Amino acid sequence: MSFMTAQSGFWSGYYTQSDIRYPFSIQLFLGNFDGSVKGEGTDNIGNFMINGSWRKLDGSVKFTKQYIGAHSVVYDGLLSPDGRHMDGKYTVGESVGDFHMEISR
């Protein structure tokens, strides 16, 4: 059985809402030992913190993006086999959309 590894660092990407892509950037830490996901970033809404987990067995990722002093967004995604890309869905209230992100450095 093989396990994935993930890349920590500066990630950039976008989420879609009403067919419009909104860019974001995150300093993201993906713990290869404990499966943690932590980070902080910014987008068109404001600054946010990231907290969640990922599974080394299948690369599934789930984290919450908590905007400072505001609402939160739940992200469910899947890491690419090389641990450098992530795609999935986000949920905020009753709304669902797509997201994509990749490590930049």
CATH code where residue 60 lies: 2.40.128.120
For residue 57, what is the DSSP state?
T
- Residue 4 within a domain: no
Q: What local confidence, expressed as pLDDT, does residue 4 receive? A: 76
Residue 74's domain comprises: 9-103
Which residues, 6+ apart, have CB-to-CB distance to 16 below 8 Å? 22, 97, 98, 99
Please check whether residue 29 is in contact with residue 7, taking contact to mean a CB–CB distance below 8 angstroms: no
Q: Flag whether the pTM goes above 0.85.
A: yes
- Residue 15 within a domain: yes
**pLDDT tens digits, residue range 57-102?**
899 999 999 999 999 999 999 999 888 999 999 999 999 999 999 9
Which residues, 6+ apart, have CB-to-CB distance to 57 below 8 Å? 1, 3, 4
- Residue 2 within a domain: no
